[in-house]
Amino acid sequence: MRVPRCTIDSSCVIALDHLDLLPQLSLLFSRVLVPKAVREELLKRRATKDRLRSFFNEYAFLERCDDYEKGTVDFLLAEKIPKG
């Protein structure tokens, strides 16, 4: 059986933290990957800077993610570009 995991973006982290629901992600996923770009964006915000650091200490299911498949990302981004 595959272990459920997901990748999260900054707006989801902010919203779930605001609602105190971030810990509930562990009920759905064994691993939640937080990409480098998301971490950098959250570190720019004063309100989430210290919280982000504590997230990784408090929640073992949250993992830093710095590796990705460039081809897959390019494919997904290409789908977002409006065709003229």
Q: For every one of its 84 residues, what pLDDT tens digit does the chain have, with 9 covering 90 and above?
A: 667 889 899 899 999 999 999 999 999 999 999 998 889 888 888 877 788 888 888 999 999 988 777 777 677 677 766 665
Collapse the DSSP code of 67 into the 3-class scheme (helix H, G, I; strand E, B; otherwise coil) and give the result: coil
Helix orientation angle between 36-44 and 46-58, rounded to the nearest 10 degrees: 130
Q: In what order do the strands lie in the sheet with 31-35?
A: 5-7, 31-35, 62-65
CA distance 13 to 9: 6
pLDDT, position 80: 66
Q: Which amino acid is at 61?
A: F
pLDDT, position 37: 87
Q: What is the pTM of this model?
A: 0.75
